Amino acid sequence: MPFLETELERAYAAPSLADVGSPAAGFTVAVAGGGTVVGAAELDALPGLRAIANFGVGYDNIDVEEATRRGVVVSNTPDVLTDAVADLSVLLVLDVLRQGSAADRFVRRGEWAAGKRYPLTREVRGSVVGILGLGRIGEAVAERLVPFGAEIAYHSRSAKDVAWAYHESTVALAEASDVLVVLTPGGAGTEHLVDAAVLDALGPDGFLVNVSRGSVVDEVALVAALEAGRIAGAGLDVFADEPHVPAALLDRDDVVLLPHVGSATDQTREAMARLVLDNVAAFLERGELVTPVN
């Protein structure tokens, strides 16, 4: 077997970078998958590294500041996943309001056949959908929900050139919203941005949808708010400790739980993979990335 193949296979099979051994020192480009954490320890183990191509638009799994300090450039996969993630966000907005998942469970449990009626639900039309983080995906979600008759409001650190109502803070947006859709990046700057005060501002008739990162929502505060009826329900694609979901959420009919599948379609995952490979090729050929983040 050729040397390169043997070494790469050994690297691929290694449970951690420490087990890769000497070949790791020779790697100049790394591809980081969804759950791959790249911090100082990993960068120490890859002293020859010059570029990291991240498979995902969110790159809170990578210590970009430390990478920059060491002259390592980082790329992500913006735009190609916007439609798929926006579609999934809309699915969650519709599900928390119309309760498709909970009603499905009601039928399967035999409650309909036993003569029970499913309670009435809420409509998108006339609901205020607050977008926390009006970026590429947030704007695509808003554009999709306008034809449904939703009223759009948003908060980002800066107001955007759009016609929708801007709110100066997360609490103010939550107060104005029937459904709060979280679409900020993860990482230190947004940790627990949605805390007990934001959930209380959303209120007992308000729903939370989180498609950003689990770290953005204080999960303990979320469970407490749901258990006390201080919010009406939640639709979650992301969690603080994936793939673990708080046990307290598993039996609740007012919560929709998805296994981090925002971008998980054939078409989008293929487009993401192509963009990762384009970044790797561009770096190896010209020393530049197509979609750099630093």
Structure tokens at 67: 């990478």
Of 50 and 260, which CB lies nearer to ligand NAP in the complex structure? 260
Q: Is the peptide bond before 23 cis (omega within 30 degrees of 0)?
A: no
Structure tokens at 255: 């919560």
Binder among 213, 239, 275, 291 for ligand NAP (CB under 6 A): 213
Catalytic residue from among 123, 242, 270, 288: 242
- Name the one range near ligand NAP by CB under 6 A: 104-112, 145-153, 189-197, 278-286: 189-197
Catalytic residue from among 122, 136, 230, 260: 260
Of 58 and 233, which CB lies nearer to ligand NAP in the complex structure? 58
Of 62 and 102, which CB lies nearer to ligand NAP in the complex structure? 62
242 in active site: yes
- Name the one range near ligand NAP by CB under 6 A: 109-117, 186-194, 228-236, 286-294: 186-194
Tell me: does residue 144 bind ligand NAP (CB under 6 A): no
- Residue 237 CB, shortest distance to ligand NAP, in Å, is 4
Instruction: Provide the mask over 237-266, with x wherever binding to ligand NAP is found by CB under 6 A and - wherever it is not.
Output: xx---------------------x-xx---
Of 65 and 251, which CB lies nearer to ligand NAP in the complex structure? 65
Site residues (vs ligand NAP, CB under 6 A): 57-58, 78, 81, 85, 133-138, 155-158, 183-186, 189-190, 193, 211-213, 237-238, 260, 262-263
Active site residues: 213, 242, 260
